[in-house]
Amino acid sequence: MTTIDTTDTNDLPPQDPNAVSITINGRTVAARKGDFIIAAADSVDEYIPRFCYHPRMSSVGMCRQCMVEVEGPRGPMMVVSCMTPVADGQIVRTDTPQVKRAQEGMIELLLANHPLDCPVCDKGGECPLQDQAFSHGAGESRFVEEKRHYEKPIPISDLVFLDRERCILCDRCTRFADEVAGDPLISFTQRGNNTQIMTFPDEPFASYFSGNTVQICPVGALTASPYRFKARPWDLEQRESTCTTCSVGCRTVVQSSRDELLRYQGVDSDPVNWGWLCDKGRFNFQSTNSDDRLSTPQIKSGDSFATASWSDALESIARVIRHSREGSVAILGGARGTNEDAFMWGALADAAGITMRDAQLDDGLPASVFSYSQATIDSACAGGTVILLAPDIKEELPVLYLRLRDAVQKKRIRLIEISSHETGLTKYAWKSIRAESGTAAAAVPGLLAQADIAVQLASGPVVVVAGRPNLAESASHTMNAVDAVLAVAPSASVLPVLRRGNVRGALSLGLAPRNGNDAAAILDASAKGNVDCLILLGADPLSDIADVDLARRGIAGAKFVVAIDTFLTASASHADVVLPAAAYGEKDGTTMNLEGRVTSVVQKITPHGTSRADWMIAVELMTLLGHESNFTALSDIQHAMSAAVPGFGSTTTTVAIKRDGVVVSVAPPSTASVTTSVAAPRNSYEFRLDLSRKLFDRAIGTITSPSLANLATEANVFIHPLDLDRVGAAEGTNVRISNSHSSIVLPVRASSSIPRGTAWVPFNQIGADVRELVRRNESIIDVRIESM
């Protein structure tokens, strides 16, 4: 079972003014003012039974199971330990006959209506109610009346089922939805003996974080559809790891049975995820188990692929690299893998003279973003001002959204958001400014000069959260905006929010662009016939790059394409050789999150088919190309990494495998891009295009996870209501969006949060591909919208 870490309140320095001393069961315990008795007891492993209490949420005292006895002026009195703060000199007893009777009585009351269906309940074997009925219950019940019955189970979303008969009204799920996620979509209804948990009529539990309510539910009232009836806890083997779905780096427990991944559970890492996971990160393990995975190397023969041996496939790749022109081999990708994968592919590139390489797919920021003073998630949330020059954090980095939202709700920070459309954090922002695409940098000086903002910036630390808010504009616009902030607040630090799982690690350990040869430059060179061998290292440019025309021309122009991936993606289907790669959960290593924190990832199951880790493929290619390689095990690579990469020496295996890992300071090589940015002629068109992503998409890892496959929505174009009138279209009708490059048709929606003259389209949804309108050599994209 997954446990939640709590702060060790017993390690306080004697001079701490917030320290108090209490006695629990005759044992002196150091605690902090404001702590509840239950937290102080947890710090010294004095377990007090509980159902409603959770250290990451407010205390409500709903279940009354945590009753303890506290000495008072009139003698011992019973109090709820999750609602009673510690006080200096307090004497607490958790094991008196009175406490035992109270706990037995509460268990008996909870079981009066609780169905005894443990044999068919997914929570059986890891159920706090079941455990505490044995450890703190009376052993028998005086209730013989018929129990309550409800329709069961009710699917309250695509991912969660509700069984109201099992609910003990602990308020955990409702508090999480309201306090933590900000999605109060599940709540109490009715009163008294008929009180129950329910969603609102005709409104599903459509939260990005619904899986957390399943994990924290102390009974089987909420169950996850991907795990229902799959295994018992004693059937599961587990190891602690790090989620790489995005770059937040949430700590997880990976659980498997019979060599199949069955469940991910969140683990409380204090500097990162606090035990929470987004639903995409929690449930996409199904793609690893997919029967559609690549299992053997494939070599293209005519218009189809033929199965090949690893030796034949690798030799064919090595032969092409050996005979390629100087400077004509390129590597795209690497952010999907581990640090060890990136280091070995970087070493291969160095040995073979491959200068064209980029772990990003033209949707991030230049490596120079790491040259600023760097912030961490904790420092961004600790206090002061956070300026958002980033995409919608809720859509791209969901658990970072939870951390920032918590910091705002608890009044630790003030958010200033500069964006071209409303985001998940807009309603929590102190100031939310709508800036048309390409104008953020120009807007910053005047904005930050406002009197109240200037006072706020001077009052404490400033952190700039920097990413790509609009994929239809050049990254230079974001970098210019960051520089404009730093000109006003030179002591500010920057938290780069690059999206892909290990993109910072890949850039830092060998796969950053050299000589301006970023992803766009590589594809442009390939389109011009200057790339003899293009290696796609877990990259799918046809699905991911904003300029899909450039991706098509780049892949078509390469004389030889190698795809190393887990699935036959849109780009891999055009390859000459496809190699099956080991997926998450199938290999050991380390990863680096967006703040530079290095943590471990672990192998839990056997790699699918003959799949291999990326580093193994790089080692074999180095040998075939005649370069000496003494790497035979992962530990060899980790030792070489520590020796070769400045700042990485502290991340020994023993440090990285600790729950919170370690933040390292590694600066990727920073070079200016050679790509010329040319602005589109605005006066020829009527709208400026704003392109972004949604969490649930049509990417290969999502559509091969059955529980996530249907969560993407229809693509729409969003414009201001006055612009809708100007276009002459009705809400929900199709409009034509065009420019000199292409034309597409999408339904139109009105949103007053969109600046006039802006057209916002989340591109990774179902429907026409708006990327047909984007060209990388234009720093902004203008379009015409016409009714049909």
**Residue 298 and residue 313: Cα distance in Å, rounded?**
7
pLDDT tens digit string along 39-51?
A: 999 999 999 999 9
Distance between start and end Cα atoms, the chain: 57
Average pLDDT over residues 230-235: 94
Q: Among candidates 182, 146, 167, 276, which has minimal Cα distance to 223?
A: 167
Sign of CA dihedral 418, 420, 425, 426: positive
Q: Is the pLDDT of residue 415 over 90?
A: yes
Fold agreement (19-95, 367-496): no
Least reliable range by pLDDT among 60-64, 594-598, 647-651? 647-651
Query: Which pLDDT score is estimated for 139?
Result: 83
pLDDT tens digit string along 346-364?
A: 999 999 999 999 999 999 9
Q: Is the pLDDT of residue 3 over 50?
A: no
Q: Residue 393 — φ and ψ, nearest 5°?
A: -60, -35
Residue 667 binned pLDDT confidence (cut-offs 50, 70, 90): low
Residue 683 binned pLDDT confidence (cut-offs 50, 70, 90): low
Measured CA to CA in angstroms, residue 582 lies from 48, 212, 444, 565, 602 at distances of: 43, 28, 45, 8, 12
Query: Which pLDDT score is estimated for 670?
Result: 57
Average pLDDT over residues 45-60: 96
Residue 655 binned pLDDT confidence (cut-offs 50, 70, 90): low
pLDDT tens digit string along 733-787?
A: 999 999 999 999 999 999 998 999 999 999 999 999 999 999 999 999 999 999 9
Q: Is the pLDDT of residue 286 over 90?
A: yes
Looking at domain 367-496, its CATH architecture is 3-Layer(aba) Sandwich (3.40)
Tell how strand 251-257 and strand 237-242 pair up. antiparallel
Fold of 682-787: Barwin-like endoglucanases (2.40.40)
Query: Which pLDDT score is estimated for 16?
Result: 76
Sign of CA dihedral 66, 68, 73, 75: positive
Fold of 19-95: Ubiquitin-like (UB roll) (3.10.20)
C-alpha angle with apex 254: 404 to 155, nearest 5 degrees?
75
**Residue 763 and residue 756: Cα distance in Å, rounded?**
20
Of residues 174 and 203, the one with the higher pLDDT is 174
In 610-699, alpha helices (H): 614-624, 634-644, 653-656
Q: Is the pLDDT of residue 673 over 80?
A: no
Q: How many CB atoms lie within 10 A of CB 478?
A: 24
Least reliable range by pLDDT among 60-64, 143-147, 509-513? 143-147
Query: Which pLDDT score is estimated for 520?
Result: 95
Least reliable range by pLDDT among 2-6, 441-445, 635-639? 2-6
Residue 652 binned pLDDT confidence (cut-offs 50, 70, 90): low
Q: Is the pLDDT of residue 676 over 60?
A: no
- Give Cα 111 distance to the centre of its chain: 38
Query: Which pLDDT score is estimated for 591?
Result: 95
Least reliable range by pLDDT among 281-290, 513-522, 642-651, 701-710? 642-651
Query: Which pLDDT score is estimated for 2?
Result: 40
**Residue 486 and residue 368: Cα distance in Å, rounded?**
14
CA atoms within 13 A on the CB side of 779: 14
Least reliable range by pLDDT among 72-76, 267-271, 395-399, 610-614? 72-76
Q: Beta strands of 577-686 (E only): which ranges?
A: 577-580, 589-592, 597-601, 662-663
**Residue 548 and residue 144: Cα distance in Å, rounded?**
68
Average pLDDT over residues 579-602: 95
Q: Is the pLDDT of residue 571 over 60?
A: yes
Query: Which pLDDT score is estimated for 536?
Result: 98
Q: Which tokens go with 688? A: 């400026």
Q: Is the pLDDT of residue 672 over 60?
A: no
The residue assigned the tokens 């933590």 is 180
Fold of 298-364+502-663: Rossmann fold (3.40.50)
**Residue 596 and residue 513: Cα distance in Å, rounded?**
19
In the chain, where the domains are located: 19-95, 298-364+502-663, 367-496, 682-787
State the chain's mean pLDDT as an integer: 92
| Percent of the chain with pLDDT strictly greater than 90 | 84
Inter-residue contact 180 to 58 (CB < 8 Å): no
Q: Residue 441 — φ and ψ, nearest 5°?
A: -60, -40
Residue 649 binned pLDDT confidence (cut-offs 50, 70, 90): confident
Least reliable range by pLDDT among 179-183, 431-435, 490-494, 681-685? 681-685
Q: Among candidates 340, 313, 297, which has minimal Cα distance to 609?
A: 297
Residue 684 binned pLDDT confidence (cut-offs 50, 70, 90): low
Q: Is the pLDDT of residue 38 over 90?
A: yes
